[in-house]
Structure 1
Amino acid sequence: MPSSKMSADEMCLLSATEQKMLLASRRISALELLDLQLNRVKRLNPSCNAVVTLDEEAARRQARIADEKLARGEAMAPLHGLPMTIKDSFAVAGMAATCGLEELRGYRPNEDAVAVAKIRAAGAVIFGKTNLPAGAADHQSCNTLFGLTRNPWDGERTVGGSSGGSAAALAAGLTTLELGSDIGGSIRVPAHFCGVYGHKPSYGLVSTEGHIPPPPGHIAPAELGVAGPLARSAFDLEMLFDVVLGMSDLDAAGAEVWLPAARHDDLRSFRVAIWNDGQAYPLDDGYAAAIDGLADDLTRLGVAVNRTARPPIDPAASHDVYLQTLFGIIGAGLPPPAREELLAAGDAAESGSYPRRVADAVRQSLPQHFAAAEQRHQIYRAWRRFFADYDVLLCPVTPTVAFPHDIERLDLAAQFTRRLLVNGGTIPYMDNLAWPGLVTVANLPATAIPTGRRVGRVPAGVQVVGPYLGERTTLRFAQLAEQALGGFARPPGI
């Protein structure tokens, strides 16, 4: 058990599981832990700008209630007294919910998003909100309301997005747990870039009601989009996932979520496939070497690793249908001026280019939408056959590790002109969607974990992909790998 005599900084960098042990043993109170966390935010947040909103008064009320319940001998709730932040795309009663958008600067919801309400009911002390790109639509976390979030490992590099503030806050020890969302890698990319853990659930397991986008007041869930946990430990991921699992009370009436148990409880029993080459999607050699190093570690531990197995899908066709579905969703929710800007860029571009593909997706017909839905179900079936022979697939999260900031323009169309450096050359910025989309298009779960290696000054992660509803399997693999190989590493200087 961690000691209560450790420094404030050490206390703030413990896992949620370890902090909960201290709370349960009365070695620290929820109010004391909150104050340690708030002091650290005030001291270190200016250097990374991850936490953009605080509600100290409400948080202290929550912490006092947690302490009073424990003093009365009440059983500890799953997140009892743990201080945490929430991505600023979720409604949290009493705090602004802007999603980084100027038009929502003054929006203060009266009630929590469904997943946030579950977190609050589980005893967590919610004290702030974390930064993200405007509209949750970039792999950099910068907006005109709150500015740029910097990577705790290297301030000149991105934290990822859209849950970038979430991952940066965890890496810097500014929060204990985080709730993020993911439709284009928005949990997995920041976890990879910042050296923490994140879990993208199977589609439909966690309510996104109260999330922006869509605009406030809309309740229909978007295809592909999910909400899920980020943390400094895979064990913490499952703790928070179990709290948010399930839909709203209305949607859950008469239904119960049941998930299969983990396929194995011993690391050496897992059948692991690794997809780690740049033939289908771009991949930088330095990042690939980090994943190869993790594969070597697993092999030395006696894990059966197959580096050539691939799901029976066409990667290019999979990416096409993902882009069509993703930008059909995004385009439907855009304000008319932004929509027209994307369409104009596409009309002026070459066939097959990203601007043209995005424009085609935005203006697709209903028959085209249904044809894409059929393709997605065919892809899903192909993955199911693959996971009859393998338990998990390890693959890159993006083509590279965290890249330098490129924020000269922040509009959505700017992503058509940005470039990423890969193996001495450049690739389109939007190629960053390929590896995450491989998983998202099939509604699969993926747990992002550190490889234990850096490329230059920044960490390298990998996504552990499993079969649909296979959360327990990917999370258990992540936990066993963490135990065997080590987990979160503190950024230098933090």
Structure 2
Amino acid sequence: MCSSNISSNIAERHNCKTKKIFCGMATNILKHVFLLFRTYLDMLIDVVFGFLFDGRRKAIPDLEKKHNILTESAVTLAAKIRNKELTSEALVAACIERIKQVNPILNAVIDERFADALKDAKVTDERIAEGLPEEYFKEKPFLGVPFTAKESHAVAGLLNPLGIRARAYVRAHEDAECVRLLKQAGAIPLAVTNVPEINKWQETRNMLFGQTNNPYHTGRTTGGSSGGEAALAACYASPISLCSDIGGSTRMPAFYCGLFGLNPTAGHSSLKGSALRTGEHPTIASIGFLSKHCSDLAPLSQLVCTGIDFNKPVDIKNVKYFYTETAKDLRVSPISKELRQAMIRVVKKLSEDTSVPLHQYYHNGLEHMASLWRHAMTGEVDSFPALLANNQGEANGLLELAKKLVGVSQFTLAAIMKLLDEQVMPATDRKWADKLIKELADDLTAKLGSDGVLLFPSAPAVAPYHYSLLLRPYNFAYWGIFNAIKFPSLQVPLGLNSEGLPLGIQVVSTPGNEAVCLAVADHLAKLFGGFVPPCRVLD
């Protein structure tokens, strides 16, 4: 009897094991079939949208010799102004002229204070000419350098509509905290730039100001939500670009426009006055900057962040490297061949350049990047439906969809999709998501420590055609996952592909270790050339 039970249990375990093996095989086969389907679907999407938008490509005007000063970093420009080698007024005037040249093609600027900026610059020059103590320059490290900001950052006197019609004529009465800190450092506000509605989409488009175009291919997106900033910066029209990032909003436009873009550790910068926030509540968002020059990111970030040493010494020879070629989130498009090859080139070059081995990294949390970000967003205090209605009630997704079908909705389809996601789709399981977020963060912390980085794909593909992301709504997840776990991440350009579109990679470190990210980004810039402009720079 006992022997019979043992035999029965063995047979049962064997059957159970066989079923698990079969289920695993079947699941893997289905995943591969689905990925193959997604690959061909993405190819079809690109063919269709390419037919619609490739013919709309417009060239960006060359940067004239008289404007060559705009190729310099913000740090260098500040030094030249301080040393009386350049006047602030001349620099501001050059930026204004360049904006007027490129903005008709880009559609990036939504409001400006050109005349007032020139007055501010003239006053700055007069004070410098009279003589200022060295201590004053230390307190104002960017004295006389102009900056632009995404319009969701309140800049006193300028439009602050957040991309929605209900706020079409609203102007900011006071500066956002990040704007105040930049002005305190001596920088001069010049203009505010276009964003998607409430900063919540992968394209910079709204019903007030239309869409912003990518300078490398105007039929393609700049990304969002700091797309206006990225377009201007890439065209040498803005020395300092003030952004923010809650799901890739700094790094995505930086990638699509061939720039460096840093999203610092969440919780170290104030969002007061940004997208109507009070700055009093925890958030996964951070204030950040994008730039043509990696060297600008540390001093600029240090102005708006507390508790982080961006200039901490790092020995690049002692950095530990991990890399992920692709995540396996089925909601996200498969990684394109050219971006896989870009990762391989980086890994190969670093392997040749350093004696430190590179290790592959993977965690099952990367199979649920979009879901984990979506869950992390439920902890944000602001309400997207309420903000769309300018906090006068709430927008209703189903109603707005019906209105959109008859052409009377005041919102873009992207905003309506976001409404439906929040109001109709079931919530992500909280316990499961919290557990997986913690496990991923803990595992990465253990692997990277204080001197390691993770090299991670930027996106499934280079800058997509306008509107095509409506069919790929989760492709931002390669950026969003690091917002969800509150890790700093830095976007690094890697040159252009055969179509002249920017390639890139993310460099990720553990919270508070941005200096390691910056050191690796600077090293990669030296190895791969850094920023490549979308226009000719005339000598």
TM-score w.r.t. the length of structure 1 is 0.83
For 1:432, what is the secondary structure of its paired residue? coil
Asked if structure 1 preserves the Cα contact closer than 8 Å seen for 2:198 and 2:384, the reply is no
When residues 7 and 187 of structure 1 are mapped into structure 2, their CA distance, relative to the original with a 3 A threshold, is: same
**Are 1:277 and 2:326 matched, yes or no?**
yes
Task: Identify if the C-alpha distance between structure 1 residues 57 and 372 changes in structure 2 by more than 3 Å, giving closer, same or farther.
Answer: same
Q: Provide the C-alpha distance between the structure 1 equivalents of 2:207 and 2:133, rounded to a whole number of angstroms.
A: 45
Q: 1:236 aligns with which of 296, 316, 323?
A: 296
| Per-residue deviation, residues 71-101 of structure 1 (Å, max 9, x unmatched) | 2223322111111101111001111112211
Distance in 2, matches of 1:303 and 1:227, equals 35
Contact 1:342–1:355, Cα closer than 8 Å, also in 2: no
Matches of 1:394 and 1:372 in 2, distance apart? 24
- Give 3-state SS (helix, strand or coil) of 2:111's partner: strand
The count of residues paired between Structure 1 and Structure 2 equals 446
Q: Cα offset for 1:303?
A: 5.8
Change (3 A) 1:344 1:383: farther
Post-superposition CA distance 1:325-379 (Å, at most 9, x none):
226649833136644439999xxxxxxxx989934797759xx657744553343
SS of residue in 2 equivalent to 1:315: helix
What is the one-letter code of the residue matched to 2:106?
A: C
Query: Counterparts in 2 of 1:199-218, with a 5 A limit?
Result: 199-212=262-275, 216=276, 218=278
Q: Once the two structures are superposed, what CA deviation does each residue of 1:90-149 show, in whole Å capped at 9, x if it has no partner?
A: 001111112211111222122111111000000001110111112211111111222211
Asked if residue 62 in structure 1 is aligned to residue 125 in structure 2, the reply is no
In the other structure, the counterpart of 1:185 is 248
Deviation at 1:184, TM superposition (A): 1.2
Pick from 461, 466, 477 the counterpart of residue 509 of structure 2. 466
Q: Please tell me whether the aligned partners of residues 85 and 129 of structure 1 are also in contact (alpha carbons under 8 angstroms).
A: yes
Check 1:399–1:344 CA distance in 2 against 1; reply closer, same or farther (3 A cut). same
Question: Which residue number in structure 1 is paired with residue 5 of structure 2?
Answer: none
TM-score by length of 2: 0.76
For the Cα contact (< 8 Å) 2:302–2:310, is it kept in 1? no
**Partner residue of 1:89 out of 133, 147, 152:** 152
CA distance in 1, matches of 2:270, 2:253: 21
User: Alpha-carbon deviations, 1:292-326, whole Å to 9, x = none?
Assistant: 2233332332263525233x443234542222222
Q: Which residue of 1 aligns with 2:372?
A: 321
Q: After the TM superposition, which of the residue ranges 20-29 and 122-131 deviates more from structure 2?
A: 20-29
TM-superposed CA distance for 1:482, in Å, is: 2.2
Q: Residue type of the partner of 1:80?
A: L
How far apart are the structure 2 equivalents of 1:82 and 1:134? Answer: 29
- Bigger helix share: 2
Q: Render the CA deviation track for 1:237-275: whole Å, top value 9, x for unaligned.
A: 1121011113xxxxxxxxxx2548647233x33221121
2:497 pairs, out of 431, 451, 454, with: 454
Residues 342 and 393 (structure 1 numbering): CA distance in 2 closer, same or farther, change over 3 Å? farther
Q: Secondary structure at the match of 2:476?
A: helix
Distance 1:60 1:221 in 2: 37
Aligned match of 1:3: none
Residues 475-486 of structure 1 mapped to structure 2, 5 A cutoff: 475-486=518-529
Q: Which residue of 1 aligns with 2:9?
A: none
**Residue 440 of structure 2 aligns to which amino acid in structure 1?**
I
Structure 2 counterpart of 1:251: none
Q: Distance in 1 between matches of 2:170 and 2:357?
A: 50
Aligned pairs for 1:91-240 within 5 A: 91-212=154-275, 216=276, 218-221=278-281, 223-240=283-300
Distance 1:181 1:260 in 2: 17
Structure whose CA Rg is larger: 2
The 1:51–1:222 alpha-carbon spacing in structure 2 relative to 1, beyond 3 Å, is farther
Match of 2:409 in 1: none
Q: Specify every segment of 5 or more residues in structure 2 that has no aligned partner in the other structure, as ranges.
A: 1-63, 387-392, 403-416
Q: Is residue 388 of structure 1 aligned with residue 449 of structure 2?
A: yes
Aligned to 1:195, the other structure's residue is in SS state: coil
Contact 1:208 1:221 in 2 (8 A): no
Structure 1 counterpart SS, 2:190: strand
1:424 aligned partner: none
Match of 1:332 among 383, 388, 396: 383
Residue number in structure 2 paired with 1:265: 315
Q: How does 1:350-365 map to 2 (within 5 A)?
A: 358-359=421-422, 364=427
Identical pairs, percent: 25
Superposition RMSD on alpha carbons, in Å? 2.9
| AA aligned opposite 1:478 | A
Which position in structure 2 is the counterpart of 1:286?
Answer: 338
- Alpha-carbon distance between aligned partners in 2 of 1:264 and 1:357, rounded to the nearest angstrom: 46
2:441 maps to a residue whose letter is Y
Q: Could you tell me how far 1:55 is from its partner in structure 2?
A: 0.3
Contact kept, 8 Å, 2:149 with 2:242, in 1: the verdict is yes
